[in-house]
Structure 1
Amino acid sequence: MEARARTAEAAGLGGQVPRLAARLKAPVQTLASLLLATSVAALAQTSLPTLVQADGTLNPAWRFVGFPKAKADISPTRFEAGRVDGVAAVQVVTASSYGTLVHEGSGPAPVWLRWRWRLDTPLSGGTAQPDILTKAGDDAALKVCVMFEHALDRVPFVERTILRIARRVSGEALPAATVCYVWDSTHPALTQGPNPYTKRVRFISLQGRGAPLARWAQESRDVAADFATLFADELPEGAALPRVTRVLLGADSDNTTSTSSGWVADLHWTERGP
């Protein structure tokens, strides 16, 4: 049984608001659960604190957020500060689990987001094949995501209605747009698309099938360009990038009941490109 609730099909919901609200119960619960797992109150700052403090411990400015217990009893992904190849980093370990480290910050994003990461053990040993394009396989051994204050009037009607109801039910300012960079060992690098549960989350696979394991990979992403590519259908020509509300790193293996292990280091904003 999938850990996350199934999303009902949007087609055929009709135009009557009461019936729409009733029939949207499943997708509302799904969206609220997924986005609550990363949604916390935003603070007025855009710089990213170091992941690991000078004393070698995790920086408390990065807050752990797991899957809501009221929705499913999913084990937390494990985050530990450490060193590998002389680099201070956060080790990210999954075992049929879900979890993120979230930094809260509201403001215009500097252009480039940079970090290093390495995957030591890809998702394996589970009951389902990892496949980020499907609900049953929607897990990621490593991911870095940016959440945006996207205008609701740019979101399609049905999704906008679902999001509004989910916000009301959860009491949280759930994000209308999230860009995720993932390490995926199933598909080729640069595979991209919407999350199979909700189009409010869209992804790019930066490291794909055949990427070297246990070796650092440097990433540098033009976040504005990636947002414009992934949300092109919701971004008017010439419109500015929405404000960033938070940045997170994480991993999950709850859908496939897999295990994985990797590291993330040096996550920061910069004005300069690669």
Structure 2
Amino acid sequence: MATKYSTIIPTASRWIGAMPAAAVAAVALWLAAPAVHADEVVVTPFSSAHGAQAPQPWRFTSLPNKTPTRFEVVQEGAQKVLKVEADQSYGNLVHATRVPLNPSTTLAWRWRVDTFVEDADLRTRSGDDGAAKLCVFFDLPVERLSLGERTRLALARRTTGEQVPSEALCYVWDKKEAKGSTLVNAFTQRMRMVVLESGAAANKAAFVSERRNLLADYKRAFGDEAGDTLPDVVAVAVSADADNTQGHGLAYFSDIDLRSITTTRSAGVDSPPGRAGSAE
């Protein structure tokens, strides 16, 4: 029987951080997320789309009164990819799942940024925009959080009536932040960001390949609060926004490959770091 988990859209963390001073302005989305086995397709490929819309269970989510970011499956050469265009807009494409986090858990994809969001600054609220983000949501038990973080998260869950995920790790291709930088979201501690690529690629027409060991990245980003706890991965999301800067961004994503072997789950096994991106 499928279990339901809610997925809060990545940069909707803005209102989580602002909630002590304002009412919640976003609505989370319920998605069915059955547990999966290692030999199953965990994330539905964009290339399986029959038209321009991303195949289910991918779902668009946004905030009230925001111009929506456009997500469209298009043909690029011999394959179908996801075109993501932010134009003074906000939006996310979310795919629920549930897989264990352990040394075998990997995330792989290819991406390309054609247009960066001018004036974006990931270190400030006014500049919290980006042309390309791939986020992973984790279900960390709230007991591992500080009292202040538990209070804010409880308020978010109570206000929305949804089981808002307790952690989000976002991989970012940014124009100016140094490659390899790890940042805390300007709005909330519940989101950490890793800058995988910085600036224009050497070959602007080529996609860049990424393969990350999620456990290694998770420990670097959230190890201070998680300790030896290994929370399940409960969703992935493609995100792009340019609503704060009133800018424009354009990026492309290939199929997203998320893998995890249930039987290897262990908090005591070290895992190798994910390799850096490479142009194809």
Identity %: 34
Offset of 1:162 from its aligned partner? 0.9
Offset of 1:88 from its aligned partner? 1.3
Offset of 1:235 from its aligned partner? 1.8
Q: What whole-Å deviation, never above 9, does each CA across 1:159-217 have from its counterpart, x for those lacking one?
A: 11011011001101111101000111121111111100001011101111343433200
* d(CA) in 1 for partners of 2:165, 2:16: 20
* d(CA) in 1 for partners of 2:23, 2:163: 14
1:45 counterpart residue number: 35
2:55 counterpart residue number: 59
Task: Please list every run of 5 or more consecutive structure 2 residues that lacks an aligned counterpart in the other structure.
Answer: 1-11, 37-41, 262-273, 276-280
Aligned partners of 1:27 and 1:162 also within 8 Å:
no
* d(CA) in 2 for partners of 1:27, 1:177: 21
1:85 counterpart residue number: 77
Residue 123 of structure 2 is aligned to residue 121 of structure 1: no
Give the number of aligned pairs. 242
The counterpart of 2:106, out of the listed 109, 112, 126, is 112
What is the TM-score with the length of structure 1 in the denominator? 0.81
1:103 counterpart residue number: 95
Alignment of 1:201-220 (within 5 A): 201-212=191-202, 213-220=204-211
Change beyond 3 A, Cα 1:65–1:5: closer
Aligned partners of 1:136 and 1:256 also within 8 Å:
yes
Change beyond 3 A, Cα 1:210–1:264: closer
Residue 163 of structure 2 is aligned to residue 162 of structure 1: no
* d(CA) in 2 for partners of 1:267, 1:93: 18
Aligned partners of 1:48 and 1:267 also within 8 Å:
yes
Offset of 1:106 from its aligned partner? 2.0
The counterpart of 1:242, out of the listed 231, 243, 253, is 231
Displacement over 6 Å in runs of 4+: none
Change beyond 3 A, Cα 1:6–1:270: closer
In angstroms, what is the RMSD of aligned CA positions? 2.4
Residue 198 of structure 2 is aligned to residue 226 of structure 1: no
Q: What whole-Å deviation, never above 9, does each CA across 1:102-126 have from its counterpart, x for those lacking one?
A: 11112314511000000111113xx
The amino acid that maps onto 1:224 is L
The counterpart of 1:255, out of the listed 227, 235, 244, is 244
Aligned partners of 2:68 and 2:90 also within 8 Å:
yes
Offset of 1:55 from its aligned partner? 3.3
Residue 21 of structure 2 is aligned to residue 26 of structure 1: yes
What is the TM-score with the length of structure 2 in the denominator? 0.79
The amino acid that maps onto 1:118 is R
1:15 counterpart residue number: none
* d(CA) in 1 for partners of 2:134, 2:215: 15
The amino acid that maps onto 1:59 is P
Change beyond 3 A, Cα 1:28–1:189: farther
Aligned partners of 2:172 and 2:197 also within 8 Å:
yes
